[in-house]
Structure 1
Amino acid sequence: MIDADDVRRIALSLPETVEKEAWRMPTFRVAGRMYLTVPDDETSIAVRCPRHEREELMAAEPEKFWVPPHEASSAWVRVRLAALEDLAELRDVVVDSWRQAAPDRLREAHPALVPGAEAAGGR
């Protein structure tokens, strides 16, 4: 089963990612911009997601994606770890969020780092 340790391992494998505690939970940042949090009881993660895509995700897979009421106006979505198919899907979600927060220089320096790339090939 996927857990917070898997999230941490994948996030910290991404270029220039640092872990920082905020609001009494682990957060992950690239170039100072937060792109991932592990809230509450570590059964879910919160990642960056444009609102128009977020609505589509929640409609297509409500058992996997949701937004708490207090985050409705944000560009974040929650992901239930137990609903993910495997570590590859977790990696895709984390990489997508990293790409949204990473500066152009990092995205350009790591063009193979995209959702769907194998972990070894994506670095």
Structure 2
Amino acid sequence: MDALEHLRRLCLALPEVTERLSHGEPTWFVRGKKTFVTSADHHHDDRTAFWCAAGPGVQETLVAQAPEKYFRPPYVGHRGWLGVYLDVPLDWDVLADLVEDAYRVIAPKTLVAQLDASSCRPD
């Protein structure tokens, strides 16, 4: 499975997530309104990546620890969003956690409670 398909599977496994193009890239929305993950295929550079919502301090910590894997994305980086390169060796368990955390940052409390009550992560 290629990286985009794997990312798609992770996102769509979460409660009330939809996908559509936004700015020409596959993007995942909670309840069709709020973006929590967007693909970034060669957006302003020659790298394949995704951008995701992140909690306070996550972007700074991960970029400082592993700049070969993580970056501050344009447009949304100032809001704490995290950029994740997909053209490096990937640990999909870590990426699944980042996607779920992004969902938790954006989703309403009722959906987060639904996520907590079920196991939505695909194998």
Shorter-chain TM range is 0.7 to 0.9
Provide the secondary structure at the position in 1 that maps to 2:67.
coil
- Contact kept? 1:36, 1:46, Cα under 8 Å: yes
- The Cα offsets for residues 72-98 of structure 1, whole Å up to 9 and x where unpaired, read as 422211001233543222211111111
Match of 1:40 in 2: 41
Structure 2 CA distance for aligned equivalents of residues 118 and 71 of structure 1: 27
1:50 CA drift (Å): 3.4
2:86 aligns with one of 74, 77, 81: 81
Q: TM-score, with normalisation over the residues of structure 1?
A: 0.81
Provide structure 1 residue ranges, at least 5 long, that are not aligned to the other structure. none
- Contact kept? 1:2, 1:87, Cα under 8 Å: no
* 1:4 to 2:4 alignment: yes
Give matches, 1:12-91, under 5 Å.
12-31=12-31, 32-41=33-42, 43-83=48-88, 85-91=90-96
Aligned residues: 118
Provide structure 2 residue ranges, at least 5 long, that are not aligned to the other structure. none
Task: Please give the root-mean-square deviation of Cα atoms over the aligned residues, in Å.
Answer: 2.5
Identity, % of aligned positions: 30
